[in-house]
Amino acid sequence: MPDTGKKLLCGMDPDEIKSLANCDISAAKVITNCLYKKRIADITRITGISKQLKEYLSEVAYTGLLNPVSCQKSSDGSIKYLFRNNNPLEYETVFLPGDRRNTVCVSTQAGCRMGCPFCVSGKYGFRGNLSAGDIINQVISLPESGILTHVVFMGMGEPMDNLDNVIKACHILTAEWGRAISRRNITVSTVGITSGIKRFLRFSDCNLVFSLFSPFEEERRNVIPAERKYPAREIINLMKSYPLQKKRRLSIAYVMIDGINDSDKHLEGLKVLLRNSMIRVNLLKYHQHPYDDRAPSTPERLQYFKHELVTSGVSASIRRSRGEDISAACGLLAAGLRDDLMNSD
């Protein structure tokens, strides 16, 4: 375990490193490039800076790069990784390989306090916020880090409930001195905290996905506690009115559950809610967890919703489900965590 009195470089920007190391900004950017692009975990192996600077940095800081504790591989090729930071908090990350894109799904919290009943992360309980460094580490410490093209903040936790660290992580991921990933390849998902969404839209250029569940306020309030304080209609109106920059996407995630939110009435409600907007609908299969009597809508029903939305002028797609057999699919993260792991060395 590193000296807890030392600072973690992972999660810092060049200005913070410049202040910590009392060096010039060009040297600080050399350090961030070595950290975020080259994934150098040992300060003494950083190239392009003086020996004296490396020695001083080694005395006051460590990189903070942590390898995954364990992993599970799905039959579809996706891989779920377990991370444990020095607090210690445990959280899960999923690598999703593809033909044209390789995506990492990162967590922003250990657990979640939003309390949505169909999400296992909420049942795991809230254990703590992840730092910007913890979030970035999930990207740069994967074995597949070198081939990643996309990052989605759709793992454990509610990003708007840890917004400062999420915005900072997005900045590091997109900055030239950082990971240099295109903003249009980074997507942040939320169940809705209006003030957080306003700040995110203002201070980040990355994509946003809002999890809806139902177009009807009363139904959503009964299932998603955040609806009581942050009404979906208010958030969608905010998304509709926000001036979009080139290629930035604002989307709705709609998890379809058989006999609950997949009726023709719900379909018409979606059409009315999203008519005359640039907001896209991502239709998702519901994933059951143990002791759950809810069932996913049929593939035919998802196709029907997509067809009807598109023909009515609402952009829609069906998002492919991945990693269900290892509890890595949407809504299932934390299903594999056990309390005894939290207390292990």
- Looking at the structure, tell me whether residues 337 and 233 fall in a common domain: yes
Confidence check: pLDDT of 38 > 60: yes
Asked whether residue 2 is assigned to any structural domain, the reply reads no
- Looking at the structure, tell me whether residues 87 and 202 fall in a common domain: yes
The two structure tokens encoding residue 107: 């967590």
**What are the residues facing 84 on neighbouring strands?**
90
- Examine the residue annotation and report whether 119 is marked as an active-site residue of this protein: no
Name the pairing type of β-strands 61-62 and 70-73.
unpaired
* Domain that includes residue 40, residue range: 7-62
Asked whether residue 335 is assigned to any structural domain, the reply reads yes
- Looking at the structure, tell me whether residues 52 and 187 fall in a common domain: no
Active-site pick, 10, 90, 92, 112: 92
Lowest mean pLDDT among 22-26, 50-54, 168-172, 291-295: 291-295
Are 54 and 17 spatial neighbours (Cβ–Cβ below 8 Å)? Answer: no
Q: Is 22 exposed, middle or buried (0-12, 13-18, 19+ CB in 10 A)?
A: exposed
**DSSP helix/strand/coil, 269:** helix
Q: Which residue has the tokens 């049929």?
A: 298
CB atoms within 10 A of CB 242: 16
Are 14 and 21 spatial neighbours (Cβ–Cβ below 8 Å)? Answer: no
Asked whether residue 1 is assigned to any structural domain, the reply reads no
Long-range CB pairs of 55-61, under 8 A, 24+ apart, other chains included: 56/21, 56/22, 57/9, 57/20, 57/21, 57/31, 60/6, 60/7, 60/20, 60/21, 61/6, 61/7, 61/8, 61/9, 61/20, 61/21
Q: How far apart are CA 111 and CA 124, in angstroms?
A: 6
- Looking at the structure, tell me whether residues 58 and 99 fall in a common domain: no
Q: How far apart are CA 196 and CA 166, in angstroms?
A: 11
Total of domains in the chain? 2
Summarised one tens digit per residue, pLDDT across range 262-319 is: 999 999 999 999 988 999 999 999 887 766 788 999 999 999 999 999 999 999 999 8
- Examine the residue annotation and report whether 219 is marked as an active-site residue of this protein: no
Summarised one tens digit per residue, pLDDT across range 200-209 is: 999 999 999 9
Indicate the pTM of the whole model: 0.91
- Looking at the structure, tell me whether residues 253 and 112 fall in a common domain: yes
Mean pLDDT over 45-60 rounds to 95
Summarised one tens digit per residue, pLDDT across range 241-260 is: 988 776 789 999 999 999 99
